Amino acid sequence: MIRFRDLSLHYEGADHPAVAGVDATIAEGELCVVVGPTGSGKTTLLRTTNGLVPHFSGGTLTGEVTVAGHSIADHHPRDLAEIVGFVVQDPRAGFVTGTVEEELAFSMESLGIDPATMRRRVEEILDLLGLDQLRDRPVDTLSGGEAQRTAIGAALTALPRILVLDEPTSALDPRAAEDVLAALHRLVHDLGITVLMAEHRLERVMGFADRILHLDGPGARIGGPGEMLADSPLAPPLVQLGRVAGWDPPPVHIRDARRLAGGLRERLTVEAEGGSGGSSGTVLLDASGVTVTHDGTVAVHDVSLQLRAGERVALMGRNGAGKTSLLWALQGTGRRDGGRVRAGDADPAELRASDRRRRVGLVPQEPDDLLYLATVDEECAQADRDAGAEPGSTRSLLDSLLPGVPAAAHPRDLSEGQRLLLVLAFTLAAAPPVVLLDEPTRGLDQVVKDRLCTELTRLAAEGHAVVVSTHDVEFAARFATRVAVLAAGDVVTDGPATEVLAGSPMFAPQVAKVLAPLPLLTVDDVKACLP
Amino acid sequence: MSRAAGTRRLHAAAWWVWALGLGATATRTTNPILLLFIAAVAGYVAVTCRDRTPWSRSYGAFLRLAAIVLVIRIGFHVVLGGVAGPTELVRLPEIPLPSWASGIRIGGAVSAEGVLHAAYDGLRLGVLLVCVGAANALADPRRLLQSLPGALYEVSVAVVVALTTAPQLVASAVRIRRARQLRGDLRRGVRGFTSLVVPVVEDAFDRALSMAATMDARGYGRAGEVPAGVRRATGACVIGGLAGLSMGAFAVLDTTAPDVLGVPALVVGGVLGFGALRLGARRAIRTRYRPDRWGGAETVVAASGLVALVGVLVAERTGAGTLDPVFVPITLPDPPVSAMIGVLVALVPVLVARTPVRSRASIVTATRKAAA
């Protein structure tokens, strides 16, 4: 169905080709996941399937890509709309019309499909993706999962035989991600649509995938999920657990692993941990009764939270549960309608912005919002001045977080992970005892996430209190000593990570699911318990 | 579900004709009884028939704007004066002005008649705003654009995209301004402006590229094959039509121009322009999903607004009732009966727009049958 024959793509002015020597064939009706570290050309590869690369973005393509027998060399993206449905990374940025129903019809209008057929197909797609309740909703009021399903539906109404998606679940909470994946699963199984998608969060999609296309440096490998991930640095915890336990081939479904896990469970000796609540450090931030309202709706309701030195806290909960509002209110820049916050001897909300960030630092969800200069060096120098720090201190912070970020590069040309750590370095330049990060793991691959986890753990060991809001249960399991779960603005659970995560049906990491009832969350925990 | 169950969404143009009919009625009178009656009718229809959608929420903003207009109009009269009258309400201290500014007055006596005159005048403008606001609340401006002829499709999509992205631009500016505080960067002036504008513009560019990629991937911009002759004819019609229309409009407005230039040029320009739109539509292969149809209900709604206008015109001719009340002495003006009846007719949409239509399920089965 999709054929890459010795595909290489070179963007003008780039040192390396974005994709080189890819040879792969994806058969009809397969769900194929493209994996690879950040910058390995996943998005570029996906965009060649309907000719957006090179027709839309430029670049020199060698080799050949054919979809359903059509070569992209002589077809424009708009001519391939009935063959390849394409969903961009941020579906909201791709919405053209006002409501869900009109959005579904837009591609068909462009293709000149007759009104009766259009009407019928819109109704069918609404049912297929469970969007019928949302048909008249303005697209800008949709939640992340709803927007993603609408974008998938909009691509499907042209009845393409291939659906290409760029990280469809990266911004979604676990439940919304499952809705989207279930919808894709149905498309593959019931309609025989071929799906090609990129995804960093392999633990989520591995179970659904028929094939994995692994981009690593030059070239690419394709094969079944187990064999492809067995020795990959991007392997999800389940595969890593398989390696530790010596299961070959490594399992890709929790169910398979549980069946194998009986022997492993007996070999593990788990010592009862004596309260890892970390209540020993000094209180760095003390919040009580914090309430935030936006336009009359309560985003955060009467939340009390104490952060101590050395604590690593994960803040979890659905999209829209109030995590972002809470972090901004704790930092003092965001709105707060009630309650009190003390950071050291002052309320950060009453301080000047430049003093506020010396007490509580916040890395926002869109780190790009803070970047506006032409080179990394200029940004670092400006950050030194903003923080009143010694010249060069931001740069050395950055080097300790992530060595080798090119000084003359434009910040927008850096990878997501590099930009995140650059902004974290800005935040640390003011030396705040409390560091908050809002959804830092979005779009990061496993290797960069490991790095982030190590660095944040080091900061906590140096006496900071670190709070991370995240949907990524595997990251939370590895990073956090304490987990607080928000729901509809309330803190519903707040306790040691092991207790909160291991027992939760929604937030349990893969290792906990396999080894329940043992209170183990990560592969490292398992290793520590092996004789 | 944002639409009230069982009601049909009317053609956007019907609502605009209705509202402009009411608005035009309002501009022909300063009788407060008639004006308030128009406002009440427009407001009642807007509140009863509107969808629960973001643009319909803007109605409150129009009402506030109307109130502000009224207050400003009265305020100006109080300060700058205007119509004098025998009933003095208050005497403000008058600022003496040099002789060359004679005729202008700041402060001084404020008469009840003058205030009333200003209030009636402001009310007229306010009611016009209430009518436009009602149209905006009742019909999504985007749907009005969708009813444009096929040849103007690209233009209408561009406007729709702009309508969608403008609020996003504001939201991203607010977000970035707030995020800037996290950097402790509080510079003002040019440097502060750059640190705000650069990320906002980059954000907008990213989104625009993303949207363009999606639109391309979804088949937008496919064009039908059109013979070269038709293409040239379209071009000629566009130029000829525009020339005819502008010449005609100039001649009609300028009384010294020869008569042959006026109406005939307008007619020729109109015909050519219409031809250009028809020919241009041949190039666009696209179809339209659930277009707003013009049916009986639309005609009734549009006509009811025009009846109000006819009512006030009849009142002008017959002189029954008072359209422009006198202020000296202050009396309650007579309501112009025919105009009042006309405006009352403009309430008809409440009955028409609420008639139940075929349920969704029956439409689906009907189209399935049609397709089979």
Give residue-wise pLDDT tens across range A387-413: 888 899 999 999 998 888 899 999 988
In angstroms, rounded to a whole number, what is the distance separating the alpha carbons of residues B275 and B69? 43
In angstroms, rounded to a whole number, what is the distance separating the alpha carbons of residues A341 and A306? 10
Task: Indicate the SS3 state at residue B321.
Answer: coil
Per-residue confidence (pLDDT) for residue B226, from 0 to 100: 75
Q: How many CB atoms lie within 10 A of CB B52?
A: 11
**Where does residue B315 fall: left (phi above 0), alpha (psi -120 to 50 degrees), or beta otherwise?**
alpha
- Stated pTM of the model: 0.81
Q: What are phi and psi of A382, to 5 degrees?
A: -65, -40
**Is residue A343 a contact partner of residue A430, using CB atoms and an 8 Å limit?**
no
DSSP A354-366: HHHHHHEEEE-S-
Q: Encode B119-149 in three state secondary structure.
A: HHHHHHHHHHHHHHHHHHHHCCHHHHHHCCC
B237 min Cα distance to partner chain A (Å): 25
Q: How confident is the model at residue A213 (pLDDT cuts 50, 70, 90)?
A: very high
**Is residue A372 a contact partner of residue B199, using CB atoms and an 8 Å limit?**
yes
Q: Has residue B3 got a pLDDT over 60?
A: no
Q: How confident is the model at residue A272 (pLDDT cuts 50, 70, 90)?
A: low
Q: Does B210 touch chain A (CB under 8 A)?
A: yes
Bridge partner list, A448: none
Q: How confident is the model at residue B362 (pLDDT cuts 50, 70, 90)?
A: very low
Q: Has residue B72 got a pLDDT over 80?
A: yes
**Is residue B127 a contact partner of residue B35, using CB atoms and an 8 Å limit?**
yes
**Of all helices (H) and strands (E), which one includes residue A95?**
none
Q: Is B147 exposed, middle or buried (0-12, 13-18, 19+ CB in 10 A)?
A: middle
* Sheet containing A297-308, strands listed edge to edge, beginning at the edge strand earlier in sequence: A297-308, A283-294, A338-343
Residue of A nearest to B197 (CA): A372
Per-residue confidence (pLDDT) for residue B366, from 0 to 100: 44
Q: How confident is the model at residue B55 (pLDDT cuts 50, 70, 90)?
A: low
Pick from A327-336, A380-389, A497-506, B93-102: least confident: B93-102
| Contact assignment for A357 to B182 by CB distance below 8 Å | yes
Per-residue confidence (pLDDT) for residue A228, from 0 to 100: 87
Q: Does A43 touch chain B (CB under 8 A)?
A: no
Judging by DSSP bridges, how do beta strands A297-308 and A283-294 pair with one another?
antiparallel
- How far does CA A224 lie from the centroid of its chain? 23
Q: Has residue B367 got a pLDDT over 60?
A: no
Q: How confident is the model at residue B259 (pLDDT cuts 50, 70, 90)?
A: low
Q: Which residues of B touch A112 (CB under 8 A)?
A: 222, 285-287
B317 min Cα distance to partner chain A (Å): 46
Q: Which residues of B touch A328 (CB under 8 A)?
A: 178
Q: Does A331 touch chain B (CB under 8 A)?
A: yes
Task: Indicate the SS3 state at residue A424.
Answer: helix
In angstroms, rounded to a whole number, what is the distance separating the alpha carbons of residues A508 and A203? 12
B281 min Cα distance to partner chain A (Å): 12
Which of these, A144, A205, A36, lies nearest to A365 by C-alpha position? A144
Question: Residue A362: which of B182, B217, B285 has the nearest Cβ?
Answer: B182
In angstroms, rounded to a whole number, what is the distance separating the alpha carbons of residues A179 and A170? 13
B255 min Cα distance to partner chain A (Å): 46
Report, as an integer, the average pLDDT of A296-322: 92
**Is residue B1 a contact partner of residue A99, using CB atoms and an 8 Å limit?**
no
Per-residue confidence (pLDDT) for residue A65, from 0 to 100: 94
Q: Does A382 touch chain B (CB under 8 A)?
A: yes
**Interface residue of A49, A52, A78, A360 to substitute, partner B, most B CBs within 10 Å:** A78
Q: Has residue B8 got a pLDDT over 70?
A: no
**Tokens describing residue A349:** 């909300």
**Where does residue A488 fall: left (phi above 0), alpha (psi -120 to 50 degrees), or beta otherwise?**
left
Residue of B nearest to A101 (CA): B289
For residue range A32-58, what is the model confidence (pLDDT) as tens digits? 999 988 878 888 999 999 999 889 888
Q: Has residue B272 got a pLDDT over 80?
A: yes
Long-range CB contacts for residues A524-531, cutoff 8 Å, separation at least 24: A524/A478, A526/A241, A526/A244, A526/A264, A526/A268, A527/A244, A529/A268, A529/A269, A529/A270, A529/A271, A530/A244, A530/A267, A530/A268, A531/A267, A531/A269
Which of these, A496, A490, A322, A416, lies nearest to A38 by C-alpha position? A416
| Contact assignment for B218 to A119 by CB distance below 8 Å | no
The average confidence (pLDDT) of chain A is: 90
Q: Has residue A277 got a pLDDT over 60?
A: no
Overall size of chain A counted in residues: 531
**Is residue B108 a contact partner of residue B90, using CB atoms and an 8 Å limit?**
no
Q: Does B364 touch chain A (CB under 8 A)?
A: yes
- Please tell me which residue, B160 or A49, carries the higher pLDDT value: A49
The amino acid sitting at A455 is E
In angstroms, rounded to a whole number, what is the distance separating the alpha carbons of residues A192 and A185? 10
For residue range A178-192, what is the model confidence (pLDDT) as tens digits? 889 999 999 999 999
Q: Has residue B40 got a pLDDT over 60?
A: yes
Per-residue confidence (pLDDT) for residue A15, from 0 to 100: 82
Interface list for A 45-84 with B (CB within 8 A): 47, 50, 52, 56-57, 76-82, 84
Q: Which residues of B touch A132 (CB under 8 A)?
A: none
Q: Has residue A275 got a pLDDT over 60?
A: no
Handedness of CA B333, B337, B341, B342 (dihedral sign): negative
Q: Which residues of A touch B50 (CB under 8 A)?
A: none
**CA atoms within a 13 Å half-sphere pointing along the CA-CB vector of B295:** 10
In angstroms, rounded to a whole number, what is the distance separating the alpha carbons of residues A205 and A315? 23
Helices (H), B28-152: 32-49, 59-80, 112-138, 141-146
Report, as an integer, the average pLDDT of B129-144: 85
Per-residue confidence (pLDDT) for residue B52, from 0 to 100: 65
Judging by DSSP bridges, how do beta strands A84-87 and A162-166 pair with one another?
parallel
What residues contact B308, with CB distance under 8 A and at least 6 apart? B21, B22, B25, B38, B339, B342, B343, B345, B346
For residue range A24-37, what is the model confidence (pLDDT) as tens digits? 999 999 999 999 88
Which of these, A232, A336, A225, A347, lies nearest to A291 by C-alpha position? A336
Pick from A137-146, A203-212, A237-246, A316-325: least confident: A137-146
In angstroms, rounded to a whole number, what is the distance separating the alpha carbons of residues A431 and A453? 19
For residue range A315-352, what is the model confidence (pLDDT) as tens digits? 999 888 899 999 999 999 999 999 999 998 899 999 98
Pick from A270-274, A354-358, B368-372: least confident: B368-372
Per-residue confidence (pLDDT) for residue B152, from 0 to 100: 78
A36 min Cα distance to partner chain B (Å): 22
Q: Does B68 touch chain A (CB under 8 A)?
A: no
Pick from A417-421, A450-454, A479-483, B283-287: least confident: B283-287
Helices (H) and strands (E) in chain A, counts: 20, 19
A85 min Cα distance to partner chain B (Å): 7
Q: Has residue B89 got a pLDDT over 90?
A: no
In angstroms, rounded to a whole number, what is the distance separating the alpha carbons of residues A123 and A133? 11
The amino acid sitting at A299 is A
Per-residue confidence (pLDDT) for residue A97, from 0 to 100: 84
**Tokens describing residue B178:** 């707030």
- How far does CA A364 lie from the centroid of its chain? 15
Q: How confident is the model at residue B54 (pLDDT cuts 50, 70, 90)?
A: low
Judging by DSSP bridges, how do beta strands A312-316 and A220-223 pair with one another?
unpaired
Helices (H), B218-324: 228-253, 262-283, 296-318
Residue of A nearest to B4 (CA): A136
Q: Has residue B7 got a pLDDT over 70?
A: no
**Tokens describing residue A109:** 């209008």
Q: Does A93 touch chain B (CB under 8 A)?
A: yes
Per-residue confidence (pLDDT) for residue A83, from 0 to 100: 93
Q: How confident is the model at residue A70 (pLDDT cuts 50, 70, 90)?
A: very high
The residue behind tokens 């800037």 is: B180
- Please tell me which residue, B28 or B83, carries the higher pLDDT value: B28
Question: Residue A96: which of B168, B185, B211 has the nearest Cβ?
Answer: B211
Which of these, A128, A162, A129, lies nearest to A30 by C-alpha position? A162
Judging by DSSP bridges, how do beta strands A60-67 and A2-10 pair with one another?
antiparallel
In angstroms, rounded to a whole number, what is the distance separating the alpha carbons of residues A194 and A27? 8
Residue % of chain A over a pLDDT of 70:
98
Residue of A nearest to B167 (CA): A140
| Contact assignment for A115 to B288 by CB distance below 8 Å | yes
| Contact assignment for A52 to B213 by CB distance below 8 Å | yes
Bridge partner list, B356: none
Q: How many CB atoms lie within 10 A of CB B62?
A: 20
Q: Has residue B311 got a pLDDT over 50?
A: yes
**Tokens describing residue A133:** 């309740």
The average confidence (pLDDT) of chain B is: 81
Task: Indicate the SS3 state at residue A481.
Answer: coil
